[in-house]
Amino acid sequence: MLKQPHLKYRAFAPISLPDRRWPGVQITQAPLWLSTDLRDGNQALIEPMDPERKLRMFQMLVKIGFKEIEVGFPSASQTDFDFVRMLIEDGQIPDDVTIQVLTQARQPLIERTFESLVGAKRAVVHLYNAVAPVMRRVVLGMTEDQIVDLAVTHTAMIREMAARQPETDFRFEYSPEMFSGTELAFSKRVVDAVTEAWGPTPERKIIINLPTTVEHSTPNVFADMVEWMHRHIERRESVILSVHPHNDRGTGTAAAELALMAGADRIEGCLFGNGERTGNLDLVNIALNLYTQGVPPGLDFSDIDEVRRCVEHCNQLPVHPRHPYVGELVYTSFSGSHQDAIKKAFSARKEGDIWEIPYLPIDPKDLGRSYEAVIRVNSQSGKGGISYLLESEYGIEMPRRLQIEFSQIVQGVMDTHGKELGAADLWQIFDREYGVKQAPALQPQIGTAEDGQTTVQAQADLCVRMIKVDGQGRGPIDAFVEGLNKQLQTQVRVLDYHEHALGSGADAQAVAYLELRVGEATLFGVGMDSNIASASLKAIVSGLRRAAQRGVLKLVRLQTV
Ligand SMILES: CC(=O)SCCNC(=O)CCNC(=O)[C@H](O)C(C)(C)COP(=O)(O)OP(=O)(O)OC[C@H]1O[C@@H](n2cnc3c(N)ncnc32)[C@H](O)[C@@H]1OP(=O)(O)O
Ligand SMILES: CC(C)C(=O)C(=O)O
Ligand SMILES: [Mg+2]
């Protein structure tokens, strides 16, 4: 075994392009898109798609808005051939969509490819052959001249065959396979020769597609290569310059973005990055990256979960929960400080504002995702997330100090059970702690004394004992507390008061949050009632019951009911 196994690898060589321009370029418009889900994606599946899956994928791609779709390698298998026939014969291809098919540079395969396209309104025939030194040497066993000849001969063959099927508007794409591993001068030589053989014009351009068949350099090197081709190939005005990144180093998206800055007009890839090995470029990722920079991608991902379900069904492969933009967890925040910032930013945001929500680079609603999933509560969470869930799901708008108090209670539950808590769990804990739903009846009678003060008579079930309250004060709360204090050894004071309405119409409720000082202890009580005064009195009782349960409430008189 080698002591230094890394020595068997060769470093990629930087490109000499001292006046490179791409680093200063900003992407201001979407590229032309080609989906190769049904070809490069399909050829990489454990179980290639059956006709039902292929059609479902095709229809989804059309719905998303792809205008160029590579639908297969029709000369490779009967299934691919039949699928292309079905699309054409069943009129499945909308007028504004062009199908594309791939072929090797071999006459029988090209003939079969044209056979599959009979009757199509429009089609792109996509020819490839390897140009990289290792492929020339090991696979094709050809010299540079022979490779150029292979490409040119078969381009001319395609041109002739296209002329024999004039009912179809044929376009042509050429890929120097393994462009990313090929000497630039040789790539240019092959590409120029093919372009000349096809004879494009600015009105009828050829597509020259530069594949990162295997990604083995940093994206800046690929960008240099693309810019070099962009600036050096002949007839550039008659060429649509396309790129086809794979993702072996995990930088396919970066490579594609830098390639666009470097002069590429068109991008090939697959939804959620399916494809050979680590996948093709993820089209959804790059399209939504543009979207979040204010550039409309021209592709519709407004129901991204529907797209994901379709892709998972067709590919029989799951999309990772952390996959950019679509994963189950990518709009979810567990950690307390993130939740806190998100909650505050949502409250500060006004309709029409620029999107500036920390930790959420895109509005989940734009992709058909809801905010409900944004915040989930586990042991890493704090008051922000807990109060966000109770507010968004149950309309409970806790004041800040209650948020702090309640989050400690939730933390206690979490420490015991260790599991994630949903909004319903939080509501249950809240209700149990503050006794909101099953609060004991008070039967308050509120009146006015001769001196104008408010009088309150009520019954208060303080857990330890039911007491009769009879008090007088500046308002119902003051009167109730005065009445209570006559009976309690531990004195009660209201420190703070918040209330809000919950719901509307006949079912509307008032929720009151009262911060109480009970002897030495400070704690909250919460009350809910259709009557706002009753809600406040219930909140006081809620706080006192909690104080009694903690043993901080002492009665002085035994005036029970
Ligand atoms: C980077 C890419 O994704 S390229 C697309 C790859 N996709 C696929 O291969 C999926 C579909 N392919 C197939 O079904 C088959 O490979 C076919 C039908 C195309 C060809 O099948 P076969 O004739 O049995 O050949 P095989 O599969 O072994 O391919 C290797 C042969 O193709 C030749 N070849 C490879 N690429 C090309 C090319 N672009 N042009 C001409 N010949 C080529 C090789 O030199 C080799 O020839 P050899 O058998 O004389 O040594
Ligand atoms: C056929 C070509 C474009 C390809 O898929 C690749 O090189 O990755
Ligand atoms: Mg590929």
Cα atoms found within 13 Å of the Cα of residue 156, Cβ hemisphere only: 8
Kindly state the tokens that stand for 170: 């044929």
Q: 106 CA to middle of ligand 1, Å? A: 9
**Residue 246, marked binder:** yes
pLDDT above 60 (res 560): no
Q: How many Cβ atoms are within 10 Å of 63's Cβ, its own excluded?
A: 13
CA 495, CA 187: separation in Å to the nearest integer?
78
DSSP 196: H
Give the helix ranges, DSSP H, for 292-444: 304-315, 336-348, 383-394, 400-417, 423-434
First to last CA, the chain: 90
434, 549 Cβ separation under 8 angstroms: no
Closest protein CA for atom 33 of ligand 1: 140
Q: Is the Cβ atom of 178 under 6 angstroms away from ligand 1?
A: no
Q: 245 CA to middle of ligand 3, Å? A: 7
* Mean pLDDT score, 208-236: 98
In the chain, where does the domain assigned CATH 3.30.160.270 lie? 445-549
37, 274 Cβ separation under 8 angstroms: yes
**Residue 40, marked binder:** yes
**Which of 343-347, 404-408, 469-473, 494-498 shows the lowest per-residue confidence on average (mean pLDDT)?**
343-347
**Which of 46-60, 205-219, 542-556 shows the lowest per-residue confidence on average (mean pLDDT)?**
542-556
Please count the helices (runs of H) and the strands (runs of E) in the chain: 17, 14
CA 338 to chain centre: 17
Kindly state the tokens that stand for 545: 């019951």
**Which of 142-146, 263-267, 347-351 shows the lowest per-residue confidence on average (mean pLDDT)?**
347-351
Return the pLDDT at 561: 46
CA 304, CA 366: separation in Å to the nearest integer?
9
Give the helix ranges, DSSP H, for 65-163: 78-89, 107-116, 133-134, 144-163
Cα atoms found within 13 Å of the Cα of residue 280, Cβ hemisphere only: 25
**Atom nearest to 178 CA in ligand 2:** 7
pLDDT above 50 (res 290): yes
* Among 448, 473, 443, residue whose Cα is nearest residue 458: 443
Hey, CA dihedral for 70, 75, 79, 82, is it positive or negative?
positive
Ion ligand 3 — residues with CB < 5 Å: 40
pLDDT above 80 (res 158): yes
In this structure, which ligand is nearest to the CA of 136? 1
**CATH annotation of 336-434:** 1.10.1220.20
Q: How many Cβ atoms are within 10 Å of 514's Cβ, its own excluded?
A: 28
Kindly state the tokens that stand for 282: 């993820």
Give the helix ranges, DSSP H, for 201-327: 219-232, 252-261, 283-291, 304-315
pLDDT above 50 (res 451): yes
Closest protein CA for atom 8 of ligand 2: 213
Q: Is the Cβ atom of 242 under 6 angstroms away from ligand 2?
A: no
Amino acid at 257: E
pLDDT above 60 (res 57): yes
Q: What is the 3-state secondary structure (H, E, C) of 454-470?
A: EEEEEEEECCCCEEEEE
Q: 271 CA to middle of ligand 3, Å? A: 14
SS3 of residue 498 by DSSP = strand
**Residue 280, marked binder:** yes
Place of tokens 């779709």: 69
Which residues does residue 509 pair with via DSSP β-bridges, in sequence order? 502
557: pLDDT confidence band, cut at 50, 70 and 90?
low
pLDDT above 60 (res 259): yes
Q: 273 CA to middle of ligand 2, Å? A: 14
* Mean pLDDT score, 39-45: 98
Cα atoms found within 13 Å of the Cα of residue 228, Cβ hemisphere only: 21
Q: 113 CA to middle of ligand 2, Å? A: 17
Q: 195 CA to middle of ligand 2, Å? A: 18
Q: Is the Cβ atom of 129 under 6 angstroms away from ligand 1?
A: yes
CATH 3.90.105.10, applies to 25-315: no
Kindly state the tokens that stand for 349: 């945001």
**Which of 88-102, 227-241, 477-491 shows the lowest per-residue confidence on average (mean pLDDT)?**
477-491
In this structure, which ligand is nearest to the CA of 177? 2
CA 535, CA 526: separation in Å to the nearest integer?
8
Predicted complex ipTM exceeds 0.95:
yes
Interior/surface letters 373-397, b for 16+ CB within 10 angstroms, e for the rest? ebbbbeeebbbbbbbbbbbbebebb
In the chain, where does the domain assigned CATH 3.20.20.70 lie? 25-315
**Which of 4-8, 226-230, 254-258, 275-279 shows the lowest per-residue confidence on average (mean pLDDT)?**
4-8
Q: Is the Cβ atom of 427 under 6 angstroms away from ligand 1?
A: no
14: which residues sit within 8 A by CB, 6+ positions away? Answer: 221, 224
pLDDT above 90 (res 559): no
Q: Is the Cβ atom of 244 under 6 angstroms away from ligand 2?
A: yes
CA 206, CA 46: separation in Å to the nearest integer?
33
Q: How many Cβ atoms are within 10 Å of 402's Cβ, its own excluded?
A: 24
Return the pLDDT at 1: 61
380: pLDDT confidence band, cut at 50, 70 and 90?
confident
Q: 445-549: what fold? A: Double Stranded RNA Binding Domain (3.30.160)
CA 477, CA 471: separation in Å to the nearest integer?
10
With 0-12 / 13-18 / 19 or more C-beta atoms within 10 angstroms meaning exposed / middle / buried, residue 447 is: exposed
Return the pLDDT at 319: 97
pLDDT above 80 (res 526): yes
CA 271 to chain centre: 13
Q: Is the Cβ atom of 40 under 6 angstroms away from ligand 1?
A: yes
pLDDT above 70 (res 173): yes
Return the pLDDT at 235: 98
Closest protein CA for atom 16 of ligand 1: 76
82: which residues sit within 8 A by CB, 6+ positions away? Answer: 51
479: pLDDT confidence band, cut at 50, 70 and 90?
very high
Return the pLDDT at 371: 64
Q: What percent of the chain has pLDDT over 90?
A: 85
Kindly state the tokens that stand for 430: 């809240």
Return the pLDDT at 414: 87
Please give the helix or strand (H or E) that residue 518 lies within, else none. strand 509-518
CA 103, CA 230: separation in Å to the nearest integer?
25
SS3 of residue 553 by DSSP = coil
Return the pLDDT at 372: 58
Cα atoms found within 13 Å of the Cα of residue 30, Cβ hemisphere only: 23
523, 547 Cβ separation under 8 angstroms: yes
CA 234, CA 553: separation in Å to the nearest integer?
90
**Which of 197-206, 240-249, 506-515 shows the lowest per-residue confidence on average (mean pLDDT)?**
506-515
Q: 129 CA to middle of ligand 1, Å? A: 9
Give the helix ranges, DSSP H, for 435-561: 476-485, 532-549
Kindly state the tokens that stand for 494: 């209201």
Kindly state the tokens that stand for 62: 């059309």
Q: Is the Cβ atom of 76 under 6 angstroms away from ligand 1?
A: yes
In the chain, where does the domain assigned CATH 1.10.1220.20 lie? 336-434
Cα atoms found within 13 Å of the Cα of residue 397, Cβ hemisphere only: 11
CA 100, CA 165: separation in Å to the nearest integer?
16
381, 334 Cβ separation under 8 angstroms: yes
pLDDT, tens only, 383-403: 888 998 899 899 999 999 999
